[in-house]
Structure 1
Amino acid sequence: MRATGFIVSALTALVMLASGARAQGWQPTRPIEIVVPFTPGSLADRNMRAVAPLLSRELGVPVAVQNIPGGNGYNRIFRAAPDGQTIGYGDPVAQIALAIVQPQPFDAMKLTWLGHFSAGVQTMVASARGRVASLDALRTMRQPVRCGTFGGISTGAAQCALLGAQFGFPVAFVSVQGPPELVLAAVRGDVDVASLGPTLWRDHIAAGAVRPLLSWSGQRDPRLPELPSLADIDMANLADVTVIRGVAAPPELPAAIRDRLIAALNAAMTKPEWDEFVTRSRLERDWTFSAEYPQTLARAQALLQQNAATLRGAF
């Protein structure tokens, strides 16, 4: 009986050890690479460079950021081994829109989306040197409105195309390298309209170089409370087509690795260093990381698919 009791105790201990191992989850054994498919200095780049040391602390290995702008960056994430050693930044809405009008070597919706730092409110502006004097003036435009984009079709460009379909003005895309270059294009008058996060426009609005037109959100942005929102022009149903500052891993990532990365990202969001970065950058505080996150992208995907003809025509 003593022998039987010893065996039972040993088996119980093994079960407890196994449960503890499952609770602890996957642990990386070598440095993690974060791929940023945007240029250095962009908000995407700054986001990931701010979070990298926090993830390193949580996961116990070095975390390095590598900039690979454009489709090559997304393809690097997509083709990487699903072992947790490669993750990346991405805007799934922009990639869904781009795939509608131009075949891509990867499927953004097959990436393992872990969540987002924020679903950003974007501000649509008109260049003070352009033809667009106000939001209402867009309704009267019959010549193509030059809308700035980058990376093929940016989320802001998709917004411009959707607004054109609603207001009845044609759109012609003008492509630049990235968000900083788009700001300069609007200031110079190389584009008529552009849509980016409000912090990128703040100084140029104050200087009168660009005219704020619209907050692409279901409600007014407290940073620009006088600016109309989509709800003010009866277009709140388009609010899901917004920039998403997301984090993705390769397709078919095992659940244990996914959950460990999600836990590390959630922990990073609670650190004072991250709070200081968000405060300094004046970003939204609507971060979310969860296994169910991919379901939240379905509405945006459906809206873009419904407007596929508009996007193809504008592109």
Structure 2
Amino acid sequence: MSGKQSDLELIKVSKRYGQVSAVDAIDLRIPSGSYCCLLGPSGCGKTSTLRMIAGHETASDGDILLGGRNITVLPAADRGTAMMFQSYALFPHLTVLDNVAFSLKMKGVAKADRHTRAQQLLERVAMGQYAHRKPAELSGGQQQRVALARALITEPKVLLLDEPLSALDPFLRIRMRAELKRWQSELGFTFVHVTHSQEEAMALADQVVVMNAGKIEQVATPHEVFNAPATEFVARFMGGHNVLDQGEDRISVRADRMRLLREPAGGAIEARVAAVEYQGTYVLVELQHEAISEFSAMVSEADFYAAPWQPGETTWVSWQAGDAHRLA
């Protein structure tokens, strides 16, 4: 898809469950052909937003447009979207081939034609040789590929993914992350992916949408979200940032930009070493200061072991003025 013909736009979209507002009048534009991650903690509204786009939840207010076409009240099957569920939701009694072909069967496509198309998609996700197996005979990663092929058979403009990697072990999660990114790049259409994992969003997305309490806190590239968080919530949620009060301003400074000193220096903050955690390439030094919560510094492995810090020691913490980012 090229140009704006498949841009996805949410205009003042809300979702209420009784008196509870799950999504609160959000505005969002997702460019055609991009990989967008809706990121945030449990209960922030990201899954409700995805389900409204899919047509599995009805928006309480607002409009959802796909390629300029208002799809807000259309049935899920008529929207030009496809959903890949967290559980994969494969039919256990059907073969892999029939699982993938199922939606074409519902549309009345002849058996030979739908099986040909399903086999082509299984080949594309490297699952062609498993066409006649049942889902129970497949690994989690293999089931995910089948679920992806099943979603793609409808030729959607937008593929919606609800925490698709959360059920996988850490090694497979990283591998499947790379495959999702590759598939999105090859297919060229829009992926909208819900996750609570900052690492996953940073690795996959062109566009990160950070949500909190039903509202959007920031929409930006992964690089911008991490290096220039818009709000205190984003800085804390993304991790690796210290949020500090500096006069009338609230700022964030990345933990890897903090320098630990053994003697007082101009502008340095006195703190106490609370804990030390070895992380491989760096050592995370947790700090204690009565006016700063979640205070830490990342020290390179070489620097730390050249002069190790011990819990209970006093340190002075400094940073370069250019490393301080002002928060809204």
TM-score by length of 1: 0.23
Decide which structure has greater strand share: 2
More helix by share: 1
TM-score (norm 2): 0.22
